[in-house]
Chains A and B, each alone.
Chain A
Amino acid sequence: MSYIGDFEQLILLALIRLGPEAYGVSIRQDIEARTALTISAGALYTALNRLENRGFVTSRLGEPTPMRGGKRKRLYSLRPAGEESVARAYESLRQMASGLGVRLRVQKS
């Protein structure tokens, strides 16, 4: 199994949720809304670029929209290899975490 970094996992999970119309803005919003992380553009596109090179995601150009100054979107969708990879990663994490629920609770302040 090839290892994928945790930020990449987050992106793959976002792609599952967002479906075939996912693009930079929606991926970023989804992750930022759920994780309270702040994502820099450089990190996001670097990760997407790498995932595409490794065959985990595929991208195509969409239609221009006025909201974006008439610029086209790059739409990303998951490929089977990516889906399998994130599923594996999640499964390993679940296995490792089982029974540790109480101790893994995030302190809410």
Chain B
Amino acid sequence: MTSAAPPSAALWLLRLALSKDDFETIAGDLEETFVADVQPRLGARRARRWYWRQTASILVSVLTDRLHIARDESRVKGMGTMAAIWQDVRYATRALGKQPGFTGVAVLTLALGIGANVAIFSVLHALLLKPLPYGNAARLMLVHLLVPDRDAGAGVYREGVWSYPKYAAFRDRQQAFDQMALFGSREWSLTDTGDPERLRGELVGASFFSILGAAPQIGRGFLPEEDLRSHTPRVAVIGHGLWLRRFGGDPAVLGKPIGINKIPHTIVGVMRPGFRGLSGQADIWIPLMTEASGQFTNPWSHSYFLIARLTPEGSIESAVAEVRAFASAMNELFPPSTGPHWGVAATPLEGERTDPLVRRALFVLLGAVGAVLLIGCANLASLMIARTLARRREVAVRLALGASRLRIVRQHMTEALLLSLLGATGGLIVGWRLLRTARAMMPDLNTVLRFDGILGLTRAGLTRSGLDLIGLDFTAVVVAAAVAGVAALLFGLAPAWQAARHDLSSSIKAGGAGSLAHGSRGFGLRSVLVACEIALALVLAVASGLMIRTVDHLGRTTLGFDPRNVVSLRVALPSAQYEPEQASRFFEHLIERMRSRGEIENAAAGSCAPVSGRCSSTTVEFTGWPPAPRGTEPLVGVYWASTRYFDTLGITLVRGRLFTDHDRMAQPRVVVINEAAARVLWKNEDPIGRRISVGQGGFHEGAEVVGIVRDVRYDSVEAEPIPDVYIPILQSPQRSVLLFVRGRVPATSLVPLIAREVRSLDPDLPLIGVKTMEQRAQDATWRTRSLAWLLSLFGTLALLLAAIGVFGVMAQAVEQRTREIGLRMALGATPRDITRMVVSRAARVSFAGVVGGFALSVATTTILSAFLFEVEPDDPATFWTVAAMVLAVALLASYLPARRAARVDPLTTMRAE
């Protein structure tokens, strides 16, 4: 058998740790055992691990000074640098081991501080910095249309998707990209195998996979001929998760049929684990050409995203310019019937990684944990200074014996570095745990990731892909080490310097630590540190105060509906089997069946759930009024509603009437509007009985306003309600509706019952997006609440650390000045005077900190304004309350040492000298 040598790094460490003879004999013993016994028995890999364990046990023994293989101090001068450092490490280990309390507190402080930093950094790294999990991610660009946004004003564009003819025109005219693929996110029902399931998938151009550098695990991607409309066999590529879930990971799945919306497709490939397409949640991919043929000839049917890969020699700048230039050709080929011309733009995929608000929230949190760590470092520096003072006789003796000042500094720094190293190790563990907890607490991303604009899908998809990248990796280790190094400098350098500049003779001569001459040494520096801690803690406390007020305001906002015991879910009828009128009958029947159940109080169908993002908006016109100029018609949110929709959701009728079973196709068209619409569209007139034409749902011809209901916040909790119009679903049938069911029992227990009722009418229909309305209301504010929660957590931690800092400094000051206090009391000072003296000293330091923190807060809290709701970033109430609170905490922390000072017995202290 081949025998490998012991790991050379381990040998190197042993050589460093042991004296020459000991190294030879011990390493010899280990090598003999390694070669003759362990390796044949355990194999090379585990034998190496064994050797490392032995090395570690020896190193621990040497470091804890149990194994006396001493090199005496006199030899230090003759030793190499490494050996001298080793000597310092041993000395530091011994010194720290003698003070387990100090060491424990220091390591814990650092571990928490570094851990929080590592965790937040890892999230930021995964979402913003790590390369996307696609080959050549840097060469990928999203190309999109720019649609004039009338809503926002002239000259403003929003991102828009492509129609096939426009894409074809672009494809034939461009040179910047060597590959392009349209894609779109879709939902399908998986029908034939097992339980019906709603699948998220992507319709993609044939080169989609090769553009993303994603090769299938087995089988193939799509072929160029599958991009042609003449190609008839239907094929699909499935995701790894679906493959395992539905087909048990069987490689023989290739060539098997899979039913998508009841149409069989042949499986031709299985993607690798983790690949979920650009939407970040696709389970299946189907060639674009599978979609209805009308899509490919109508230039105004916009529904596809476009991903493109730069040619190897192409640059992003030239591609952006070329794409922009295409706009004029496009407007010539497809002139818009109304309004200004459209534009085209390209953005690097990397740039669309995450929503600016998420990015900002991450930086705010990184700042917060950084501040916590700084405060922790200030505390440690303070502790180290106190330790240095206690050890100054020892240092003085060593200096007198000829140790250089540099060596003293180095030894102190070694202690600081060693603490940091331990802290960093602990920090990695803390960070790992934090990330695991955070992952478990993450809600459904679809509700958390609110992205404006049509690029929202890719942005959300990339964020999802980024979230999958979160984890502690080598970079996290490097960051932990770097943070630890900086921390060591921060809390180690000042005490080390102070230790070394001690005046020799006075330190040795002066008796003990309590001597008058040096009583308050180090107090000045430590007071500055404490003031800084208080300032930083105040900033964090103000930030969390603002966020808490925001959450409070969100909680008190009237949503306009009653979420209790209501569950919402989508049912989508396949167009192949249901004509719109059939769909209408289906849902009426389903709702009747559900309403007959005792557990269900009410049920209704709608198109859009409150607080879940606006669904659809359109323009309105008024009969009998001159039409508004094109492009300036008022915009309203438009919602479909069945009979009893308002009762089920608890939306109150203000005036007029609600929809009834008589508002059907053959009857006159009617609409219900919200209060905002009545106010904005009709000003002071009574809208009931007026006619309005709505640009959607077949209501162009106009309808009569029959009722006004309370405003409902459909978009988000924060956004003010806009004018809304409700259309009766019976007069504008829909195949895909959102069912709302109000139970007499808690909403979640209704789900199996609803599923049974739906299956009894059509066994192939999956329930999609089942969610209680209470959950939706919670999810709508999740990001704000979690930011508030985290900031409060860090704010509390910061305040606690600052309080400990104040306590530490004041306690030491009292201890050092015991004699002075005793003297004062002997001269007639009352305990009250003494207490006041100590507390007022703390008050001066704290007040300086609060003033500094106040200024710092004014300068920094504006970065929070994007997250605040009905609170200004300089909200005076928050500022003053928090400042008073921080001051109170600081004074409270100084009260304990002050009381001890007041209890000083003058006789004892005087006699002690």
Query: Which of A2-10, A12-20, A65-73, A101-109 interfaces with chain B?
Result: A65-73
Q: Does B680 contact A (CB under 8 A)?
A: no
Stretch at the interface among B31-39, B606-614, B810-818: B31-39
Can you list, as one digit per residue, whether each of B7-43 has a CB less than 8 Å from chain A (1) or not (0)? 0000000000000011011111111110111000000
User: Which of A38-46, A77-85, A86-94 lies at the interface with chain B?
Assistant: A38-46
Asked whether, in the complex, the Cβ of B29 is within 8 Å of the Cβ of A24, the reply is yes
Question: Is A68 a contact partner of B31 (Cβ separation < 8 A)?
Answer: yes
Contact call A61/B53, Cβ cutoff below 8 A: no
Chain B residues whose CB sits within 8 angstroms of the CB of A45 once the complex forms:
22, 26, 58, 61, 67
A31 to chain B, nearest CB (A): 13
In the complex, chain A residues whose CB is within 8 Å of the CB of B58: 41-42, 45
Which B residues are in CB contact (< 8 Å) with A49? 67-69
Check A67/B61 contact, CB under 8 A, given A40-B54, A41-B26, A42-B67.
Answer: no
Do the beta carbons of A61 and B25 come within 8 Å of each other?
yes
One of A25, A43, A68, A69 near B61 (C-beta < 8 A) = A43
Q: Is the CB of B53 within 8 A of A73?
A: no
Q: A26 → chain B, closest Cβ, in Å?
A: 9
Q: Is the CB of B28 within 8 A of A72?
A: yes
User: Does more than half of chain B's interface fall in helix, strand or loop, or is it mixed?
Assistant: helix
CB contact under 8 A between A42 and B68, given known A67-B35, A71-B25: no
Contact with A along B33-76 (1 / 0, CB 8 A): 10111000000000000000111111111000011110000000
Task: Report if A53 contacts B (CB, 8 A).
Answer: yes
Q: Shortest distance in angstroms between A37's beta carbon and chain B's nearest beta carbon?
A: 14
**B57→A24 contact, CB < 8 A:** no
How far, in Å, is A53 (CB) from chain B's closest CB? 7
A71/B28 in contact, CB under 8 A: yes
Are B67's CB and A73's CB within 8 A? no
A66 to B25, CA, bound (A): 13
1/0 contact string of A50-67 vs chain B (CB within 8 Å): 000100000001000101
- The number of chain A residues with a CB under 8 A from chain B is 22
- Tell me the complex Cα distance, A41–B54, Å: 5
Q: Which residues on A sit within 8 Å (CB–CB) of B21?
A: 61, 74
Q: What is the chain B residue whose CB lies nearest that of A53?
A: B68
Cβ contact within 8 Å between A67 and B54: no
Pick from B31, B33, B53, B61 the residue with the most CB of A within 10 Å.
B61
Assess the B29–A40 pair: CB atoms within 8 A: no
Contact A67-B36, Cβ < 8 Å, known A41-B30, A41-B54, A43-B57: yes
Kindly identify which residue among B31, B55, B57 contacts A69, using a CB–CB cutoff of 8 Å.
B31
> What is the distance, in angstroms, from B681's C-beta to the closest C-beta of chain A?
83
**Chain A residues whose CB sits within 8 angstroms of the CB of B66 once the complex forms:** 46
- Which residues of B lie under 8 Å from residue A43 when comparing CB positions? 57, 61
Residues of A within 8 A of B60 (CB): 42
Determine how close the nearest CB of chain A comes to the CB of B517; give it in whole angstroms: 43
Check A41/B28 contact, CB under 8 A, given A28-B33, A46-B66, A46-B67: no
Instruction: Pick from A29, A43, A67, A68 the residue with the most CB of B within 10 Å.
Output: A68
- CB closest chain-A residue, reference B6: A69
Closest Cβ of chain A to B161, distance in Å, is 66
Find out whether the CB atom of A72 lies under 8 angstroms from the CB atom of B24.
Answer: yes
Complex partner residue of B33 from A25, A46, A65, A72, CB under 8 angstroms: A25
Query: Whose C-beta in chain A lies nearest to the C-beta of B23?
Result: A71
State whether A23 touches B61 (Cβ < 8 A).
no
Which of chain B's residues have a CB closer than 8 A to the CB of A25?
Answer: 29, 32-33
Smallest CB–CB gap between B410 and chain A, Å?
A: 27
A24 touching B61 in the complex, CB below 8 Å, given contacts A41-B54, A49-B67: no
Smallest CB–CB gap between B95 and chain A, Å? Answer: 21
Contacts of B32 in A (CB 8 A): 25, 65, 67-68
Known: A45-B22, A46-B66, A71-B28. 6 other contacts (CB 8 A): A24-B29, A28-B33, A41-B54, A41-B57, A45-B61, A61-B25
The 10 closest A-B pairs by CB, nearest first: A42-B57, A71-B28, A24-B29, A74-B25, A40-B57, A42-B61, A41-B54, A68-B28, A42-B58, A46-B67
Of the A-B pairs whose beta carbons lie under 8 Å apart in the complex, a sample of 12, sorted by A's number, is: A41-B26, A41-B57, A42-B57, A42-B67, A45-B26, A49-B68, A61-B25, A69-B31, A71-B25, A71-B31, A72-B24, A73-B25
Listed in ascending order, the chain A residues whose CB lies under 8 Å from chain B are: 23-25, 28-29, 40-43, 45-46, 49, 53, 61, 65, 67-69, 71-74
- Please give the residue numbers on chain B whose beta carbons come within 8 Å of chain A beta carbons, in ascending order: 5, 21-22, 24-33, 35-37, 53-61, 66-69
